[in-house]
Amino acid sequence: MNRVLTVAAAICFAFSLAIQAQTPTAATQQNQSNPQEISAQRRALAKALAAQGTRVSVIADSAAASVLNQVDLVLVGADKITPEYLVNKIGTRMIALAARERAVTVCAACDTSKLIDADYHIASARDRRSVDELWPEAPKEVVVVNRYFEPTPLALFTTIITEQGELSPEETARRAERASIDSELADALARCRSRC
């Protein structure tokens, strides 16, 4: 019987349901910005899995490493995948490293539309959140960084599960290298990045 730790609720919800009805699942709970929204996502995942007879636990992201000795698989989502990295919420890299240390399989689940040939990252409101979430009224001399997404090396993943089947990290990287966006959009992103 597989025991699964899910990290990104949206995509992992569907895959957790598909794995098997009796798979014990622990869904991590992120401790950032909008706790009501995040909690609602985790509660929805937990309720749906429990309704089909799955044993479910909800834990804080920061406690994920402490339960890795109780799981057989870590399943994460992806916001995008470049030839080198899978970009997902903060904490994914830490969990993947801890899983590797314990010889726990780490998989990502996403559709191939998430593959992109370069990191067209532009720091946005989606990635950088209010510093007040971490330290309201911080002194001007203190730099407070509050990011929501981070890159995790593809090499930390066993497989990437897509609508086209399971892909090795190497095949995922090759497909990401071949993925591209419209050249006008790429140029616009480059101009924007140089101004940001």
Which amino acids are annotated catalytic?
79
Instruction: Name 187's Cβ contacts closer than 8 Å, sequence gap at least 6.
Output: none
pLDDT band at 118 (very low <50, low <70, confident <90, very high): confident
Higher pLDDT, 50 or 12: 50
Domain of residue 28: give its range: 4-195
Are the CB atoms for 25 and 44 separated by under 8 Å? no
Q: Structure pTM?
A: 0.77
How many structural domains comprise the chain?
1
Q: Is the pLDDT of residue 115 over 90?
A: yes
SS3 category, 48: helix
Instruction: Report the CATH number that the domain containing residue 114 is assigned in CATH.
Output: 3.40.50.10470
pLDDT at 70: 87
* C-alpha distance across the termini of the chain, in Å: 49
What does the alpha-carbon distance between residue 51 and residue 47 come to, in Å, rounded to a whole number? 6
**Residue 45 or residue 18, greater confidence:** 45
